[in-house]
Structure 1
């Protein structure tokens, strides 16, 4: 699979909010590392939902959010449409650099988008993530059912026991596998996007920091 590499901070919209975490026995409540020491070293992506040149990135000045913008992430099905259009996916690899002695984990995911689903159809967003070299995977899933036609915003939250933490003592890339798909009986139409109000495709990921012990 060919990956497209991003190295410049440019436009905005998948936003990861970095926040305080406190876990008894494994972490100390902290504000997180010095914002000036957190940066995105690079992002690569590949998939039917993110063709080359269709994704851009931004890291906020206070290091509290990073954002990925998808230009074309739409799944649709209907009479005469090929099955390949009903499912779109994108694998994103984020190389987030930060000081030694810290670890982080995704804990929420927000979606903004649009769904146009006829009766009997459905649309689903799925995301999973893991750190390179780590066996544990976090998973989030949301499903909509027709009839429906509206913009939407969803927040899913991982339980504390499901959090996947970056390993201490090493900067390992974060792998995020996302997909949007629709299903429909014969002669029914369904469309679902990951899309912000201004038409830009958007995921928002919440992140927790903790100190390594």
Structure 2
């Protein structure tokens, strides 16, 4: 074997060994990537519904994300108005959004809500939003957050509310419902014109071991 053949064979062996080592290194990495893609949290959202004078049937769009742990609702007419020609009923509105949460035995859940909208509040007028959370067996629910927007104000807004871990009807595990009731309205002098809307709500559920 001449020098060129010897060098060529050595180079070939080095290349083959290098490829083998790369393959061995890639296999665990691929396995880790596949494992990371699996859901690590067993608590999921299986349905989302809505009702209320601020969100009559057919006036909102809903979606559950692929991770089954987040959902969104986009409103078409969830708003209130203020002004001398506006009736009392038009100065306040509410919408109830219910998530069905699937919770395995040994797990509870916590939730977060992000809401975006628009507020136009003249001087001496305050727009306000309050969110209540009710759960299976827990009644209509207690407030989890309130925000006030005192005029003069003309801007988009974003609020976020987080909850403590909740259980399904007082037990640890099993299907449960999470009902978020958002109430919006104006307080103060109702005569100047004003508008407040909720454009969308984004929900996220996280599993918490009991």
TM-score computed with the length of structure 1 as normaliser: 0.70
Residue correspondence of structure 1 range 1-40 to structure 2 within 5 A? 31-33=40-42, 38-40=44-46
Match of 1:149 in 2: 154
- Give 1 or 2: higher helix fraction: 2
1:191 aligns with 2:200: no
- The number of residue pairs the alignment matches comes to 168
Greater mean deviation of Cα atoms: 80-89 or 93-102: 93-102
8 Å CA contact 2:82, 2:191 repeated in 1: no
C-alpha distance in 1 between matches for 2:146 and 2:75: 19
Counterpart CA distance in 1 for 2:183 and 2:126 is 14
In structure 1, what is the equivalent of residue 167 of structure 2? 166
Structure 2 Cα separation of the partners of residues 178 and 186 of structure 1: 21
How many Å apart are 1:134 and its aligned residue? Answer: 2.8
Mapped contact 2:80–2:92 kept (Cα < 8 A): yes
Structure 1: runs of 5 or more not aligned:
1-29, 196-201
Larger Rg computed on CA atoms: 2
2:69 is the counterpart of 1:71: no
Counterparts in 2 of 1:71 and 1:165: CA distance versus 1, 3 Å? same
Offset at residue 49 of structure 1 (A)? 0.3
Give secondary structure in 2 for the equivalent of 1:173.
Answer: strand
What is the root-mean-square deviation of aligned Cα atoms in Å?
2.3
- For structure 2, the residue ranges without an aligned partner over 5 or more in a row are 1-38
Structure 1: distance between partners of 2:72 and 2:136: 21
**Contact 2:62-2:73 within 8 A present in 1 as well:** yes
Q: CA separation in 2, counterparts of 1:120 and 1:190?
A: 11
Per the normalisation by structure 2, the TM-score is 0.71
Equivalent position of 2:129 in the other structure: 125
